[in-house]
Homo-oligomer: A and B are copies of this chain.
Amino acid sequence: MVKQVEIVLPAMGRGYHLITHKVLEAIGELPRTGIMNVFIKHTSAGLTINENADPSVRTDFETFMNDLVPEDYPHFTHTLEGSDDMPAHLKSSIIGQSVSIPITEHRLNLGTWQGIYLCEFRNHGGRRKIVITVYGE
């Protein structure tokens, strides 16, 4: 079976946000065994999996990734949409735009400390569209 839903997430602040519960609510019942793919339809945001408990991890992601891909990098030429735009494109490809997670016994088979992050790389990214696809049997 294949099941798919596209949802629009409300605008979130620049940073890293846990969305596991929103993804699960949106897709509903899962097959016994399979894969869930979550895909973000934007080039200045990302999806990844990381620590779901201590929020200091998400704060440090924001600080470190801003240093790794600095807005004042002097050689950017794609600057018309603001100084946060080209860094957002790069972070999006470094972090990735989809995650694929196993489904086992009708549940996401994440590790104890794993959650899905929506990574908002723009200052004012607005609403974000994601597509959730599950397949299995």
Which residues from chain A sit less than 8 Å from chain B, CB to CB? 1-2, 4, 6, 33-35, 37, 39-43, 48-51, 54, 56-57, 59-61, 63-65, 67-69, 73, 75-78, 86, 89-90, 92-102, 104, 109-114, 117, 129, 131, 133, 135-137
Given contacts A93-B48, A114-B41, contact A34 B64 (CB under 8 A): no
Could you tell me if B133 and A41 are in contact, using CB atoms closer than 8 angstroms?
Answer: no
The CA-CA distance from A33 to B134 in the complex, in Å, is 10
Q: Tell me if A's interface is mostly helix, strand, loop or mixed.
A: mixed
Question: Can you report 20 residue pairs joining A to B where beta carbons are below 8 Å apart?
Answer: A6-B109, A35-B37, A35-B133, A39-B101, A39-B109, A41-B109, A41-B114, A43-B51, A43-B113, A48-B93, A48-B97, A57-B78, A60-B77, A64-B75, A94-B94, A94-B95, A98-B99, A102-B133, A109-B131, A135-B136
